[in-house]
């Protein structure tokens, strides 16, 4: 399996298949990152498109000083910040916990075993997912951002620090506080 960095380098010299592979690997996580930052579905789609257009425009100048995902989430975060600056209102994550929000979004809540098909378990699972999304939304923005970069993007502490411009220890604290608040919010579901 080729690395993301190798795929981007191949795309930069004209290999369209390499871009398709990169897009396939990261499109869903970047989209979820936008949704979980409070973007409406249509806004998340627009931001996703803007992010990948920036990747296309800047592929030839990419220097692998950091992982591709660090660079990609830096671009995505920049697009999100630009969007926030242009708007005064925000959309609640609770909107995305409804039935329509999870269409095609595997991984929001995976329940193994045959009980997953029982209607009572599905209702409970959906309520738990809504509670979790509300808890994520309730996090202070820096903590929510760090949590989402780690949970959705799979970024390390150093990579999150690079994306956000925060110190390593600051990122570590933000994640620790975020996890503590999420655990507390989800205690009722244990």
In order of 30, 69, 116, the CA distances from 59 in angstroms are 17, 13, 43
Asked whether 51 and 26 are in contact (CB, 8 A), the reply is no
Q: Using CA atoms, how far apart are residues 76 and 40, in angstroms rounded to an integer?
A: 15
Q: What is the pTM of this model?
A: 0.60
Domains, the chain, in order of start with CATH, read: 1-88 (1.10.1740.10)
Q: List pLDDT tens digits, range 48-106.
A: 999 999 999 998 888 878 789 999 999 999 998 888 877 654 444 443 344 444 444 44
Alpha helical stretches, state H, the chain: 4-12, 16-36, 41-58, 68-86, 119-138, 141-151, 157-164, 168-185
Q: List pLDDT tens digits, range 108-144.
A: 444 344 455 556 566 677 778 888 888 998 999 999 9
């Amino acid at each position: 399996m080729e690395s993301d960095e190798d795929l981007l380098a191949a795309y930069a010299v004209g290999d369209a298949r390499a871009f398709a592979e990169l897009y396939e690997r990261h499109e869903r996580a970047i989209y979820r990152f936008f949704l979980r930052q409070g973007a409406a579905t249509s806004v998340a789609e627009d931001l996703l498109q803007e992010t990948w257009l920036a990747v296309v425009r800047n592929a030839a100048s990419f220097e692998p000083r950091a992982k591709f995902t660090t660079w990609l989430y830096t671009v995505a975060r920049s697009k999100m910040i630009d969007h926030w600056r242009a708007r005064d209102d925000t959309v609640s994550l609770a909107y995305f916990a409804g039935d329509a929000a999870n269409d095609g979004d595997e991984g929001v809540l995976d329940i193994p075993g045959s009980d997953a098909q029982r209607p009572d378990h599905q209702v409970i699972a959906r309520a738990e997912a809504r509670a979790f999304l509300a808890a994520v939304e309730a996090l202070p923005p820096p903590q929510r951002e760090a949590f989402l970069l780690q949970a959705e993007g799979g970024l390390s502490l150093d990579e999150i620090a690079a994306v956000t411009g925060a110190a390593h220890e600051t990122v570590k604290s933000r994640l620790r506080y975020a996890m503590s608040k999420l655990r507390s919010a989800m205690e009722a579901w244990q």
